[in-house]
Amino acid sequence: MKKLHIVGGGAIGSLVAAGAQKNGIGNACYPRNIVAMPTEALWQDGGSTMLQPPFNTPTVLDSSDVLVFPLKVYQLQQAITQWLPYLENTPTIVLLHNGMGGLETARSLLPDDYPILLATTSHGALKETTSSGKIQVRHTGLGATQIGLAKATRRLPATLSALTLTYPLQANAIALLERALPPVHYQANILTSLWTKLSINAVINPLTALNNMQNKRIAEAAFAETRHAICHEFTSVANAYGYDFNEDDVHEKVLAVAKATGENYSSMHQDVLYGRPTEIDAINGYIVEMAKKKGIPVPENTLLVERVKALRL
């Protein structure tokens, strides 16, 4: 029987698990710290779902199972390495994280032909502890998940129904996630979606972290020059790798997302606030590294990486 296996006890992973539980889908969670795993999910309609008790250790998965890594890029190497002995039946892996670089990490540890799906989500989720000490995950914003195959030996099908004919297990994995936490949209070229998400994160995450502010303040005139500089550098780098981004469109999309999630605090803001490692290397740092390979100057992104890292000194 197909089952979702979710690594970690973060907000998005917990929300996926709760959605699976709510909709009768077999699921299991494997947090690094069982004590910090939420026990209940609170939905936007006022309902709630109790999460199943998590597991201490991995287990051998079936080929029809789906292993989801809703982790930060810097956590992936250790997590995937821990799971390697349990992947003998080649269950589909889903990488679900902000920023870029996760695929490179996974490819360095797994066989070249291992089935990997890349995903990015705009759902909002927040872990919180009640006054009684109960840990909950709250669905703070309805979004959507974009997902697609990381690599294929032939031209990828344009639709999910067509994908079912050539990659049935991966198509089933997408359908399973759709049942757990809709909507989920299949993308034949998922990398374009990931670069689009990167353009938004590259502006909102570092600026909210550095200025201790909510997402909506990104739209203020005081940040206009920096916004435009980041978008200009992003567009130059992305297009050097064969994409077709328009700088003005990128900037408008950033403003639209900042306003739509205005009351939220970015994940990087929260990481800085609570003294956790940030994803700056997988976001602005990724732009810097890709720019170096093409000889493109990106002073604004370089400075942002340095400034965010300095916050932890």
Distance CA 33, CA 246 (A): 43
The number of beta carbons lying within 10 Å of the beta carbon of residue 141 is 15
The dihedral built from the CA positions of residue 236, 238, 240 and 245, taken in this order, carries a sign that is negative
**Nearest partner of 4 among 181, 183, 188, 187, judged by Cα:** 181
Residue 244 tokens, joined: 């077709």
One-letter identity of residue 308: V
**Nearest partner of 97 among 281, 242, 308, 305, judged by Cα:** 281
Distance CA 304, CA 118 (A): 26
* Cis peptide bond upstream of 299, omega within 30: no
Q: Which residues are catalytic?
A: 197
Q: Could you tell me whether strands 116-121 and 145-149 are parallel, antiparallel, or unpaired per DSSP bridges?
A: antiparallel
Task: Judge contact between 98 and 267, C-beta under 8 A.
Answer: yes
